[in-house]
Amino acid sequence: MIRRIKESDRELYYKYVDLFYHSDVVNAPVPEINYELTFNEFMRSDDYVWCYIFEEDGKPCGFAMLSKTFSQEAGGISVTVEEIYIEEEYRNRGLGTQFFEYMKENIPAARYRIEVEEDNEKAKRLYERMGFEVLPYVQMVIDKQNKENREKEHQGK
């Protein structure tokens, strides 16, 4: 089952996002304060980001976080799968496939996006089966939080 996250899922979400960001499929963890900021945004509105909890036999077993923007390139709303995590014992049961099918049927968009680490072959195969294609360009970013942390480290030396 796939359901929207609720306020009562706060600790479950913190657990899952912490496991996700400390797994070998992510380059670097994020500050724990970001867990709270993100959860609070889930509860505030659907303007930018939303989250789903995966359950099997009534037991939580993972989550997915989506965000949305408008893309002129795509000609409409672009939905990005920001994070997807399934507990180890529930993997290879079709939950990822179920989620992507749910997303495409229930969350209308002109484009769906997902990022994946270069060496995460298993995830890339799933995403390709779901219709995702590799983009022919490199994404770049200015990350204010990381820039401020680097500046503080430099000033301390």
> Which contacts qualify for 68-75: CB closer than 8 Å, 24 or more apart?
68/109, 71/110, 71/111, 73/111, 74/110, 74/111, 75/110
d(CA 61, CA 91): 9
- CA angle (108 as vertex; 104, 114 as ends), nearest 5: 55
d(CA 50, CA 66): 5
d(CA 68, CA 30): 20
With cut-offs at 50, 70 and 90, classify the pLDDT of residue 124.
very high
Residue 49, C-beta contacts closer than 8 angstroms, at least 6 positions apart:
38, 41, 42, 65, 66, 67, 68, 82
With cut-offs at 50, 70 and 90, classify the pLDDT of residue 155.
low
Per-residue model confidence as pLDDT tens digits over 33-88? 999 999 999 999 999 999 999 999 999 999 999 999 999 999 999 999 999 999 99
Q: Hey, where are the domains in the chain?
A: 2-155
CB 104 within 8 A of CB 127: no
**Element containing residue 103 per DSSP (H, E):** helix 95-106
CB 78 within 8 A of CB 69: yes
With cut-offs at 50, 70 and 90, classify the pLDDT of residue 24.
confident
CATH architecture of the domain formed by 2-155: 3-Layer(aba) Sandwich (3.40)
Instruction: Write down the pLDDT at residue 83.
Output: 96
**Phi-psi domain of 58 (left: phi exceeds 0; alpha: psi -120 through 50; beta: other):** left
Question: Whole-model pTM?
Answer: 0.86
Instruction: Write down the pLDDT at residue 89.
Output: 96
